[in-house]
Amino acid sequence: MVRVALELDVTPEQALLALRDDRRPFALVGDWAGGGALVGSEPLRVVTGAHAALAVLEESRGAAGEGREAAVGGGWFGWLGFAVGGAIERLTPGPPRPDPLPAASLAYYDHLLRRDSEGRWWFEALPTPDRREALEHRLALLAERLRPPARPRPWKLEGLAPRPPGYVGHRSAVAACLQRIAAGEIYQANLCLRFEGRLGGAAIDAFATARARLRPAYAAFFDLPGGAVMSLSPELFLRRAGARVETRPVKGTAPRSDDPVRAGAQRHDLTVSAKDAAENVMITDLMRNDLGRVCRYGSIAARPPHAEAHPGVWHLVSTVEGELGEGVTDADLVRAAFPPGSVTGAPKVQALEVISALEATGRETYTGAVGYASPAAGLELNVAIRTFEVRGERVWLGAGGGIVADSDPDAEVCEAWRKAAPLARALGAELPEPDPRGAPSSGALATRPPGPSAATAPGESKPALPWAGGPRPDPALGLIETLAVRDGTPLALDAHLARLAHSARTVLGASPPSGLGARVRRRAADAPWAWARLRITVAPGDDCLTWDVQPAEPAVLGSDDPVALAPLLLPGGLGEHKWADRRLVDACSTRHGACPLLVDLDGAVLEAAWANVWLLEGDRLMTPPADGRLLAGVMRAALPAVAQRAGLEASEEPVVLERLEPAEAVLLTSSVRLVTVATLSGQRPSSRGMLIAGRLREALRGELGLP
């Protein structure tokens, strides 16, 4: 260990900003390592993915880090995303992930800047013989950079608002969760509402400003290629110093006014709230059980909860401590307790399944853990709540709460808003007021829970639609792209390849190989049918992706025979990518004997199993917006121009299910069938609707040069 005192008068934010042009700068500010700040950059090694991160944590065990005030020196810094839970427990795939980040990312730094609890700065390092000279140079460079202090550059957070299905969808998810609790499936589940916006400027500047304003206990910033994680968390997940381990679950929330008298009354209300006490007791007991899996028998102790002040809210916070068994590694400890109980529920594994079924978007770093594992100072991880995540210019924030038997759906939505609002203000933005009328709604789900017997009380509504059920698509099984072939020629090939390339980069982090288009043309030329379909598959392997162009198969165009639709609820839909895993769609088609029509929890119609949906009303054609919940088809993009020439106005707008039955026609568009008429409940569309559908199909045939 090398420790050099530095004569510096800079804030942790200024120290971080001085490293902005380095590789992977990071900062942990607040109560970390006994209080102060840890700031660093230029790691020697980076690992990504759940299994790689857990393998790294296998290297550290309870012998290190005997005291909280010990030097840190360096170690592995980064995050374990919520998806790491899938590498620990056998779970069904989760909802779509609009902006996937690595499931985990840890980087090894052999030096850092540390500000101790008394405000003194140190250069700390874990040198090896071949790194001593480099570290001496690094010390001199950092000392120079920190004079004069760096300042934030301009930045702006814009448009932060709930992602669809928004207020109505989250309220419906809470109502569905209450039904599961009443049926005895779970005791509690933590459901998340996602807010999204645009960040102009650099995340490092936004974090420097927000951290200084909020001063949370476990703030963290990590830069990564093309993005960043900015955690402003108040919650300690795990702290291991030597063999001692501690967790401090936060569960139970009440508003906290700026007026001290009112704030005191709100604090009292929280401490006597039976609902909040139930939330806290269940999760504290869960954390006792989790630590008990790796701690010595009889060493677990829990302290009663107390109310702590945080930006805009009061929280109930408990403490659970124990002594690890001999030979327990940090990976063992993480496997025993991850994901944190306060952001999952009880029983944990079944709560994770409920979260997967009811949430509309997959979680990234949010509700995972952020922190470090140091050979000198042990392990310390926060619970990654109050966490902004950035990819490109897109920024998102998760907020939610624990749902128990007496939760109120509207109150739970407002609690999520209450938690998110101070964070938005710290970044110079204001959330729109929560508005239950601010999203489409066709009464897809009841907003009041059934009674304890799971029977529906008089005046209450049951879910109007069946749930899709079955496993969601597993991204690990890859992507597909299906296109039409006419007389040996692939149609709209450039558009299909562009869509596939976007999906591959977003989901798999890879671009199509050169020559893929030529391979498709060769396959298409071998098709002996005048009209065929051809499929491209992208499958992840051990070391690389496999891009396969399958032989063409015969296909049929759409017709005037209506396709029967079966409306099904699927929170968040299938997302904007075309998944190779078709189990959910195929199972729903078989179970209901019709083509699944996916509807979100806000009542919004999304798409059919193999097609985009259009609604004909008078001279207007409407299709649901491509807001990340549905696959934007190639024919969907081509239809507006064709419709305009036919005297129709085609546009995007939210469409609710109740508008489909009285419509003149419901149309499905796809690359292979072009335009197909569809219907609900066996009703046929109007004669005018049938006529217009036929004209649009023929116009698209002409657009594509078909006979």
State the catalytic residues.
235, 251
Which run of H or E residues covers position 168?
helix 166-182
Count CA atoms within 13 Å of residue 220 on its CB side.
31
Write the CA distances from 401 to 19, 190, 385, 483, integer angstroms: 36, 5, 11, 43
Cα-Cα end-to-end distance for the chain: 78
Contact assessment for residue 13 and residue 113, using Cβ atoms and an 8 Å cutoff: no
The pairing of beta strand 595-599 with beta strand 563-569: parallel
Exposure class string for 427-450: b at 16+ Cβ within 10 A, else e: bebebeebeeeebbbbbbbbbebb
Write the CA distances from 21 to 26, 146, 204, 223, 323, integer angstroms: 12, 13, 11, 11, 41
Total residue length of the chain = 707
Residue that the structure tokens 């979100």 belong to? 600
Contact assessment for residue 97 and residue 356, using Cβ atoms and an 8 Å cutoff: no
Q: Which of 238, 229, 236, 193 shows the shortest CA–CA distance to 211? A: 229
- Give the bridge partners for 678, in sequence order: 563, 666
Residue 419: exposure state from Cβ atoms within 10 A (0-12, 13-18, ≥19):
buried
Q: Which of 414, 430, 433 shows the shortest CA–CA distance to 422? A: 430
Residue 567: exposure state from Cβ atoms within 10 A (0-12, 13-18, ≥19):
buried
Collapsing DSSP states into helix, strand and coil, what is residue 389? strand
- The one-letter amino acid at 244: R
How far is the C-alpha of 462 from the C-alpha of 479, rounded, in Å? 36
Write the CA distances from 378 to 26, 261, 382, integer angstroms: 18, 41, 14
**Residue 477 in tokens:** 């099984």
DSSP collapsed to 3 states, 262-307: HHHHHHHHHHCCHHHHHHHHHHHHHHHHHHHCCECCCCCEEEEEEE
**Residue 170 in tokens:** 């989250």
How far is the C-alpha of 700 from the C-alpha of 670, rounded, in Å? 11
**Residue 399 in tokens:** 């907020």
How far is the C-alpha of 24 from the C-alpha of 42, rounded, in Å? 6
How far is the C-alpha of 338 from the C-alpha of 287, rounded, in Å? 10
- Check residue 222 and report its DSSP letter: E
**Residue 523 in tokens:** 């396959």
How far is the C-alpha of 134 from the C-alpha of 42, rounded, in Å? 12
Q: What share of the chain is helix, strand, coil (3-state, %, to 5)?
A: 30, 30, 40
